[in-house]
Every structure is written in structure tokens, then in C-alpha cells.
């Protein structure tokens, strides 16, 4: 039974072992629904749930997970999706807990006697707020309008002020963060209610008093609390929309619309998240460029840069005259070389790797080309896509083969340059003009005399 019950999740316990947790979490549960659908386990990444495992309950609804938590904080278990709180429930894990739970049609209950103090408090809170959670989140299952919802919201927010009295768990981190979880929950339910289909909708003048206390600026001061909450990004968006209606700020598309939104968000990192959510919906490169030119300066974290490239790459035409990608990579001596620093020169980029036979076959021809271009405004960049673990091998080959030009290390085949230019095979040669514009992203190889002709033609162009 144990093997069958936990089989799908045992693999997870061995493949996601984390240095942050020495003890596994064991979840045993029963899905009490007419239809047995997969039960999913989610972690929270930057204010959004990310599925890390799922299991199909057996005939009587039993299911389970065993996993090592990557961090101490909120996780989500349920039958819903990553995009909505519907049929998904929050639990707190740090490692070593045993959670026993029954998931019902629109709620859950703890079972057994081994549940942690933290999850007992979370469940007591869930029970208190369930009337407004059910009406706000499960709007397809229950008919509710502001006439019945607002009184419940005011009653529960009043009770929330004293909810934590006498409920200290002994876990200082949880006890401190629980106040934030409560605030995010109430804001989530309040904003979700007014943003979902109803048979009657209130005017801003009819909003109950709690809405006047909700300020996006208060929730968006830092990334910590929003990134720790499973629907932090979704809730912040709801708060911004609420405040715009309260302040009679019209929704506008494009740059002007984002300016209005950013006026309500004091944190630059969160501005970047909002920008990326917005550009993810654009259909053309020009629309993307308008927004990115205005606000791309906010995109600074590694995850944001990756998401930005994932959004941008399908929109790119990569045609002659387009701006070159603003790369920045270290050379063999550790000095950073950027595309911007090469302006005024015709640039040839050779995308290669030390393990690539066809790449190495071009080296003699590349050396000859470099000699022929000496004294001209041509910069030859050899961009290694070797894995970080092979950097020493790259440096040795530069020395042993006496490689010339400017040798840069991109750090793996999945680097930003390769992704931007859709480099799936190497070697790949790209040419850019003196103004940093694309000439071609798939030029002839050095072994083909046509490459030298292309460089000379580009040099001569005005």
C-alpha cells in the first residue's frame, strides 16, 4: 500500500533533495469528490504556484506525497491549476511534517493527530475565512453578489484583528509571517470577488469600508511577502485595478497604461514583473519594443531576463537593419566586452564550442580572415558556448591553438545570445554593421570567400 500510495512522489523525494531541509514531508490524504482527478503539489516561485508533482488517487480516493521542501514556507496542494486558487489549498512546510488531510469539493479538513501546529493554525484561519473565500474564488459553484458578500467580508475582517491571539506556534518565522498571509488572503478574496462575473456589480461608492484600506503601495513595498504568497502577482494586479477604479484612473493600453500602473507600485522589481506580464500578451515586435524601450530598465534579475527573452524570441524577425542584441560577456582575461563597446566597427561573431568538430575546422580559415582584415574596422568575436564546467578547457585551447580575435565566454549552449538569435547548431556566423545593426544572422563561414566579400561590402557601406 505504501509503495502504491507514494510511488509517484517517491521519485520526487530523491530528485529534489535540498540543502535547506534534512527531513522529508509526508502527506497522506483522501480526495472526497465524485470524480477522482489528479492531486497536485505546488511550490511557490516569485508569487506564483509551480507544480512539482502530481498523483492520481486510488479507487477510494487515497493519495500521498513524500518530498523534501526546498524552502520553509507556503506550499499548495489541490486539484486546481497554477492560474487560480480554485480547489487549491495552502500548507506550511519546513521539513519533517506529517500532513493528514481530506480534500472536499470546495474545502478541506485536517485528519489524524500528527498535523503540525503551523498547519493547524492555517486551517483554523481557512475555516474562519471560508465563507468569503468560497464566494470569491468558487464563483462558478455559488451564486453571490456584493449584497451578501460585503457583510461577510466586514465581519470576517473584524474577527481577523484578534484571530492570532493565543495561537503562537513556537515557530517564530511562521508566527511573524502568518500576519502577512492573512493580509494577502483577505486582499485576494476582496479583489477577486469584484473582478469576477456576478449578476450584480457594485459601484465604487458602494464598496464596503474594508476596500478603502487596500492600497497596492502597501503590499508592493518589497518582493519578500508577494513572492512568498502563491497568488501574490495575481493579487497585486487585482489591487492595482481596484485602486485605479477608486481613483478614477482609466485603463489605457501601451506605455501610458503602464505608467498609470507603475504609479501605484513603488518597487522596481515588481514593476518588471508587471511589465513582463503585459508584454507576454503582445502580438508584434513593435508593440513589445515600445514597452521594453520605456520600461526595460526594470528587468534586472536573472529570472526576469530569461522570461523577457522567452517572450521576445518568438517575436523577432532578425532582419537586416534590426538592432543587434545588447550582449555583454567576459573575455579570456575576465574583462567585459559588450555590443555597445564595439560600435563603430563591423562585427563578425563566431558562435562555437571546443567540442565542436566543424567549429574547429573553421579555425585556420578564421585566422586567415583575421590577418586579411588587420588594420580595418572589423572586430572578430569568437563566442564560446562551452558549459561553465568546461571554461578551463576553453582557456587551454585558446592558449594551445593561439586563437586570435576577441574570445568571449557565453556560459553554456542556453546562453542569451544563442537564444536571441535562435542558434540551434554551430558553428554559426553573424555580421553586424558599424551602427550595431544586423547585416545577417547566418553568414557564410570563413572557409567561404563570400564572407570576406560581405565584410568588405559592409565596411564600404555608408
Q: Is residue 412 part of a domain?
A: yes
Looking at residue 9, what is its pLDDT? 43
Co-location of 292 and 403 in the same domain: no
Q: Is residue 154 part of a domain?
A: no
Among the candidates 264, 289, 315, a domain finishes at: 315
Q: Which domain holds residue 51?
A: 1-115
296 CB neighbour count, 10 Å cutoff: 16
139: pLDDT confidence band, cut at 50, 70 and 90? confident
- 176-199 confidence digits (pLDDT tens): 999 999 999 999 999 999 999 899
Q: Residue 399 is part of a domain; what is its CATH number? A: 3.40.30.10
Q: Is residue 213 part of a domain?
A: no
- 423-461 confidence digits (pLDDT tens): 999 999 999 999 999 999 999 999 999 999 999 999 998
Co-location of 247 and 296 in the same domain: yes
Looking at residue 18, what is its pLDDT? 42
**Least confident span in 73-82, 186-195, 247-256:** 247-256
Co-location of 344 and 443 in the same domain: yes
Residue 395 Cα distances to 251, 368, 403, angstroms: 54, 21, 10
Q: Which strand (E) or helix (H) includes residue 380? A: strand 378-384
- 298-330 confidence digits (pLDDT tens): 999 999 999 999 999 888 889 999 999 999 999
Co-location of 303 and 416 in the same domain: no
Q: What is the DSSP letter of 416?
A: H
Co-location of 336 and 450 in the same domain: yes
Cell numbers at 109, concatenated: 479538513
pTM higher than 0.85, yes or no?
no
Q: Is residue 432 part of a domain?
A: yes
Strands (E) across 39-159 are located at 39-45, 48-55, 62-67, 73-78, 88-93, 98-103, 108-110
Co-location of 444 and 363 in the same domain: yes
Q: Is residue 64 part of a domain?
A: yes
Q: Residue 18 is part of a domain; what is its CATH number? A: 2.60.40.1120
pLDDT over threshold 70, residue 21: no
Co-location of 279 and 340 in the same domain: no
438 Cβ partners below 8 Å, 6+ apart?
Answer: 318, 319, 320, 321, 322, 323, 324, 430, 432
Q: Is residue 368 part of a domain?
A: yes
Co-location of 9 and 106 in the same domain: yes
In DSSP notation, 300-338 reads -SHHHHHHHHHHHGGG----TTSBPP--EEEBTTS-EEE
Co-location of 245 and 352 in the same domain: no
How many domains, in total, are found in the chain? 3
Q: Which stretches of 208-297 are DSSP H helices? A: 216-219, 223-228, 232-246, 254-262, 268-279, 285-295
Among the candidates 51, 82, 115, a domain finishes at: 115
Among the candidates 315, 350, 379, a domain finishes at: 315
Q: Is residue 433 part of a domain?
A: yes
Co-location of 260 and 372 in the same domain: no
Looking at residue 459, what is its pLDDT? 95
Co-location of 364 and 247 in the same domain: no
265: pLDDT confidence band, cut at 50, 70 and 90? very high
Co-location of 311 and 361 in the same domain: no
Q: Is residue 445 part of a domain?
A: yes
Amino acid at each position: 500500500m505504501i509503495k502504491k500510495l507514494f510511488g509517484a512522489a517517491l521519485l520526487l523525494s530523491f530528485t529534489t533533495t535540498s540543502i535547506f531541509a534534512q527531513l522529508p514531508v509526508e502527506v497522506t490524504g483522501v480526495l472526497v469528490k465524485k470524480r477522482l482527478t489528479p492531486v497536485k503539489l505546488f511550490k511557490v516561485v516569485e508569487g506564483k504556484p509551480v507544480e512539482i508533482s502530481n498523483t492520481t488517487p486510488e479507487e477510494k480516493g487515497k493519495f500521498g506525497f513524500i518530498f523534501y521542501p526546498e524552502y520553509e514556507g507556503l506550499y499548495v496542494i489541490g486539484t486546481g491549476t497554477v492560474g487560480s486558487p480554485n480547489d487549491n489549498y495552502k500548507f506550511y512546510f519546513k521539513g519533517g511534517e506529517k500532513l493528514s488531510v481530506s480534500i472536499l469539493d470546495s474545502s478541506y479538513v485536517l485528519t489524524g493527530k500528527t498535523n503540525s501546529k503551523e498547519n493547524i493554525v492555517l486551517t483554523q484561519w481557512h475555516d474562519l475565512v471560508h465563507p468569503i473565500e468560497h464566494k470569491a474564488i468558487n464563483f462558478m459553484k455559488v451564486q453571490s453578489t456584493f449584497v451578501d458578500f460585503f457583510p461577510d467580508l466586514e465581519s470576517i475582517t473584524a474577527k481577523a484583528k484578534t484571530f492570532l491571539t493565543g495561537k503562537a506556534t513556537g515557530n517564530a518565522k511562521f508566527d511573524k509571517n502568518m500576519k502577512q498571509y492573512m493580509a494577502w488572503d483577505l486582499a485576494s478574496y476582496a479583489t477577486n470577488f469584484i473582478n469576477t462575473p456576478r449578476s450584480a456589480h457594485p459601484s465604487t461608492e458602494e464598496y464596503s469600508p474594508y476596500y478603502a484600506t487596500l492600497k497596492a503601495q502597501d503590499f508592493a513595498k518589497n518582493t519578500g511577502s508577494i513572492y512568498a504568497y502563491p497568488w501574490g502577482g495575481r493579487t497585486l494586479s487585482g489591487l492595482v485595478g481596484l485602486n485605479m477604479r477608486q481613483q478614477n484612473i482609466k485603463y489605457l493600453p501601451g506605455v501610458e497604461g503602464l505608467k498609470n500602473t507603475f504609479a501605484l507600485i513603488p518597487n522596481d522589481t515588481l514593476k518588471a514583473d508587471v511589465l513582463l506580464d503585459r508584454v507576454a500578451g503582445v502580438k508584434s515586435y513593435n508593440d513589445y519594443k515600445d514597452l521594453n524601450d520605456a520600461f526595460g530598465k526594470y528587468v534586472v534579475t536573472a529570472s526576469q531576463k530569461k522570461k523577457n527573452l522567452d517572450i521576445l524570441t518568438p517575436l523577432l524577425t532578425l532582419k537586416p537593419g534590426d538592432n543587434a542584441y545588447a550582449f555583454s560577456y567576459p573575455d579570456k582575461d575576465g574583462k567585459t566586452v559588450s555590443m555597445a563597446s564595439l560600435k563603430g566597427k563591423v562585427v563578425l561573431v563566431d558562435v562555437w564550442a571546443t567540442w565542436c568538430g566543424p567549429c574547429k575546422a573553421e579555425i585556420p580559415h578564421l585566422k586567415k580572415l583575421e590577418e586579411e582584415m588587420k588594420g580595418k574596422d572589423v572586430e572578430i568575436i569568437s563566442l564560446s558556448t562551452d558549459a561553465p564546467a568546461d571554461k578551463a578547457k576553453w582557456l587551454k585551447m585558446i592558449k594551445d591553438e593561439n586563437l586570435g580575435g576577441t574570445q568571449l565566454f557565453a556560459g553554456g549552449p542556453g546562453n542569451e545570445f544563442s537564444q536571441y538569435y535562435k542558434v540551434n547548431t554551430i558553428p554559426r556566423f553573424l555580421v553586424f554593421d558599424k551602427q550595431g545593426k544586423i547585416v545577417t544572422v547566418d553568414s557564410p563561414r570563413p572557409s567561404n570567400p563570400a564572407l570576406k566579400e560581405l565584410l568588405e561590402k559592409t565596411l564600404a557601406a555608408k
